[in-house]
Structure 1
Amino acid sequence: MKRGKTWRQAHPTDPAFSPDTSPFFHLSRLVGLYHLRMDAHLKPIGMDVPRWRVINILHECEYAPISRIADLAVIRVSTMTKLIYRMENEGLVETCISQADGRVTEVRLTEKGGKAIDQIRAKAGLIFERAFHDIPDDEIATFMKLTRRIYDNIY
Structure 2
Amino acid sequence: MGDPGTPAFQVDKYPFYRLNRLVGRYNAIIDARLRAIDLDIPSWRVLMILGEQAPRGVREIAEAAVIPLSTMTRIIQRMAAAGLVASSASAEDARVTEVSLLDLGESKLAEAREATAPVYARIIDGFSARDFEKLLALLGRLDENLEGLR
TM-score (norm 1): 0.89
Structure 2 residue 82 is matched with structure 1 residue 90:
yes
**Structure 1 segment 105-116 matched on structure 2, within 5 A:** 105-116=97-108
| Cα displacement (A) at 1:112 | 0.8
What is the distance in 1 between the residues matched to 2:146 and 2:47?
26
Letter aligned with residue 86 of structure 1:
R
> Which consecutive aligned stretches of 4+ in structure 1 deviate over 6 angstroms post-superposition?
none
1:116-150 per-residue CA deviation (whole Å, 9 max, x = no partner) reads 22211111211112212222222112111111222
Q: 1:3 matched to which residue of 2?
A: none
Match of 1:61 among 53, 68, 81: 53
**Structure 1 segment 6-21 matched on structure 2, within 5 A:** 6=1, 10-21=2-13
Aligned partners of 1:65 and 1:105 also within 8 Å: yes
What is the distance in 2 between the residues matched to 1:62 and 1:129?
26
Match of 1:45 among 29, 37, 47: 37
Letter aligned with residue 133 of structure 2:
A
What is the distance in 2 between the residues matched to 1:100 and 1:153?
34
| Cα displacement (A) at 1:44 | 0.8
Match of 1:31 among 23, 26, 35: 23
**Structure 1 segment 132-151 matched on structure 2, within 5 A:** 132-151=124-143
What is the distance in 2 between the residues matched to 1:124 and 1:145?
24
- SS of the counterpart of 2:36? helix
Letter aligned with residue 129 of structure 2:
D
What is the distance in 2 between the residues matched to 1:141 and 1:73?
21
Letter aligned with residue 144 of structure 2:
D
What is the distance in 1 between the residues matched to 2:10 and 2:68?
29
- SS of the counterpart of 2:100? strand
Letter aligned with residue 35 of structure 2:
K
| Cα displacement (A) at 1:45 | 0.5
Q: What is the aligned length?
A: 147
Structure 2 residue 109 is matched with structure 1 residue 122:
no
Letter aligned with residue 16 of structure 1:
A
| Cα displacement (A) at 1:49 | 1.6
Structure 1: gaps (5+ residues): 1-5
Structure 2: gaps (5+ residues): none
Indicate the larger mover: 140-149 or 50-59: 140-149
